[in-house]
Chains A and B, each alone.
Chain A
Amino acid sequence: MTLLLPIAIYVGLGVSLLGCLLRIFQYARTPVPLVWDLLPASGEETDHAEHRGSYFEETNWSKHPHHEHSFCEISAMLQDIFLLHGLWRINRPLWQWSFPFHAGLYLLLAGGSLSGLGVLFHPYAIAAVIFLLARICAWAGLWLTLFGSIGLAWRRITDANLRPYTVPGDLINLGGFALACLLILAGSLSRTMPPFQETVFALLTFQKILQLPVLTQVGIVIGSAMAGYIPFTQMAHFIAKYITYFLERREDAAMKATIQAEMARNLAYHPTWSASHIAAEGNKSWAEIAISNPISAERISK
């Protein structure tokens, strides 16, 4: 084995991490928007009130602090992340492929993290247990991802609703995952595959002595490339969803000072919209436009 494999793995993970951070940064630095509604993220089960009502049902809601992120909400969010509960509710045929695909990726992530942990703890007896768990996760993850990605690709090609909105990139993304899993699994099933613990140890600690089946090596390179590529595609919706969810769920009353400061910054922007009724004229701020009257240029006295 050359050093290519460990390098591919670390570069893939590094780029992935960097990509995720960039995404988080990109969303976090978008200006604080107007409130568009209470729950921009799909949050059906997140309301604690049984009938799913909000604090707007009270005449004096503005006087009462209303809490956010209760246990129920967080539990609903976790169900959404790990069980894809939202999709299960509304699109069961897709869920049956999407769930294994996502569960597979989560398990691969868990397997990878456990492997790293196993390497750290390798002098201790506990390492054997950690590696066993890592192995179970990795195997289950590979099979589920393979199964899920093939199923999703199949649906994209055959479902009349999905086909017109499927672009080559979708199929290549899913194909990339399927191919990586398939190759790793195929190689791993061969007799020349070294034991799991040795393999992981060698891969994560840059050891050259180990010989891996060629199929597995190619699979690892493709898998690493896919890991690095995810954050730059719509597959990164998992980051966006929860960033936006949390950014938007913040309570205006609790964040009053921050929001006011951010709004002041927003209102100081100079828009360049060209329609005559906006009367932006290139030199007016949003605040000035908001208090101008396009009919009479009259100002609202403040």
Chain B
Amino acid sequence: MKDVIRVSDMSRRNSDSLCTLDEPDLKPSPSSLGSVKEGPALTPLKPEVIQCCECSLDGTCALNIARPKSREEEDRLVASFLSGLEKLFTRENNWTFLRFLVYTMENCTRCQSCSDACHIYEASGRQEIYRPTYRTEVLRRLYFKYVKHGGLLSAWQHGDIELNWPLVARLAELSYRCNLCRRCAQVCPIGADNGLLAHELRKIFSQEMGIHPKELHDKGTMLQLKVGSTTGMPAAAVKDNVEFIDEDMSERTGLEVHTPWDVEGADVLLIHNAGEILAWPENPGAYAVVLNAAGIRWTLSSELAGYDAVNYGLWYDDAQFTRVALKQLEVARKLKVKKIVIGECGHAHKSLLVNVNRIADDELNIPRFSSIDLLRDIVFSGKLKLDPSRNNFPITLQDPCAIVRLMRIIEPQREILHAIAPRFREMTPHGVDNYCCGGGGGLAILNANNFGDWRSEVAGRKKLDQILNAFSDSLGSSIPKYVCAPCSNCKGQIRDLFSYWNIWERNRILYGGLAELVVNAMAEVKPGFLDWEWR
């Protein structure tokens, strides 16, 4: 049964979850998946986790915040949160986003028009805590009470809330129940941005309290700044892996494939999400094939951060974001390349093409653009001989939020698919109205406890629905189908989603990037480049 949850319940002083996710309460799973599970949607948390960590939000736990041992410790943590909250509203500490933050704090009319735009809210069966405005409302009340020091009049005008440790702990978790996809912001009639609010909350926890998911911080930005990549691969390992990919590509395509490294003055520095090299090597391999065939003078870099376009700082911490982004640009400056091209990774697009723009000085502001645009130019340049019949299977397209909604790179990938994939069909809705895959905002890589269940049951549910609907004419295991997802995070989430729901076995739907489809259609490549194996 769905609990009735109010904003003030965030301060509730007991360790029970604010809401429980029972399968029958969630948005019904696609009918093609057969009968619905009964009972709890998520695997229950282990007793030892419940005992030692703050998990009182919704039956999952992404952060594993240790429970304070005493009231004094609780008070210290609350004071630390409050100090972060105050800093968030000062220009010295938050010039980066203060304008949008204050705007959303002070102007949202609480009309709730944004609620139904959120796939998480919808998929959860409209659980109140996932409503886009719920966490914002908590923050708004705290803002007027503690930052603006409003008294009774303010409480009457903006609502009141009690600040205590249970609220802070729940708010930390709640900030990681949002994909930062900003579909809600797109529909808001006044342009308020609840996605931004989740981002800003994450900053209080990271920048003031040192609380962040270890996947984003310790194994993310910190590892990248230490060894060069969030994968943990130092330069030598990346080079080895890419050499292996080149060999594999040569064998599979019948062409001589060679990836150039650290070519000074190259026309294009290509930066992939380094996760591709380990998880989906055919994507960087396909780029090598296409760029070589198109005769482009390109290179990869083996410098620290230069071979990994990832920037998890974008999702939780301005200092980490800036450090990583500047390092990546610095690599390109040192190599004296003419342009930087960002591989198929949504957040990397946004971080390197949009967010870093104003802080990079003239020397670092090297022209940068999307690999999708480059692929489109190559496909239509006539330099490749393409045979679309090789892609004669149903294909649909995942629109990564960062690339499509936020940067509005919409048509190039479609132009390519229309040219090389005769059975391409859109999801509904698509383009700027797309739904997030459920892995956006860093969630795709969070795996603590049963968080993976939450991603597949709640955050990814809408996407699964969309994918199955797009293939409604060819479901079942006899026809192979392909979800083209030109984004590493989307691919990671879709992989987990498909595994969780057994989609490969039931429906033979594979997922992969865009460049792979181009190579698969290249007439000079041996037929059958695409490997119809689950990975």
Contact = CB atoms under 8 A, between A and B. Distances in A.
Interface residues on A, range: 35 or more
A274 B112 contact: no
Interface in B346-378: 350, 353-359, 361, 363, 367-370, 373-374, 377
B472 interface: no
A52 B408 contact: yes
B1 interface: no
B359 A290 contact: yes
A34 B353 CA distance: 12
Interface string B74-106: 000000100110010001110111111011001
B133 interface: yes
A273 interface: yes
A193 B158 CA distance: 39
A37 B99 contact: no
B42 to A, nearest CB: 25
Interface string A220-261: 000000000000011111001100110110001000000110
Given A165-B133, A237-B109, A33 B98 contact: yes
Nearest to A274: B208
**Residue of B93, B111, B322, B330 with most partner-chain A CB within 10 A:** B111
A38 B357 contact: no
A258 to B, nearest CB: 11
B359 A34 contact: yes
A30 B98 contact: yes
A290 B113 CA distance: 38
A245 B191 contact: yes
A47 B99 contact: no
A110 B406 CA distance: 37
A132 interface: no
Contacts of B359: 34, 263, 267, 290
Interface stretch (A58-66, A134-142, A180-188): A58-66
Contact of A162 (B110, B117, B373): B110
B207 A294 contact: no
Interface string B317-329: 0111011001100
Contacts of A273: 84, 87, 93, 207-208, 319
B207 A58 contact: no
Interface string A162-197: 101111111010000000000000000000000000
Given A89-B187, A290-B319, 8 more contacts: A56-B407, A57-B410, A58-B369, A236-B106, A271-B87, A272-B92, A273-B84, A291-B326
Interface of B: 6-7, 80, 83-84, 87, 91-93, 95-100, 102-103, 106-113, 115-117, 128, 133, 137, 156-159, 182, 185-193, 196, 206-210, 217, 222, 225-226, 318-320, 322-323, 326-327, 330, 350, 353-359, 361, 363, 367-370, 373-374, 377, 406-412, 431-432
Chain A to chain B: the 7 pairs with minimum beta-carbon distance, closest first? A54-B408, A169-B157, A86-B189, A41-B191, A31-B95, A237-B107, A91-B113
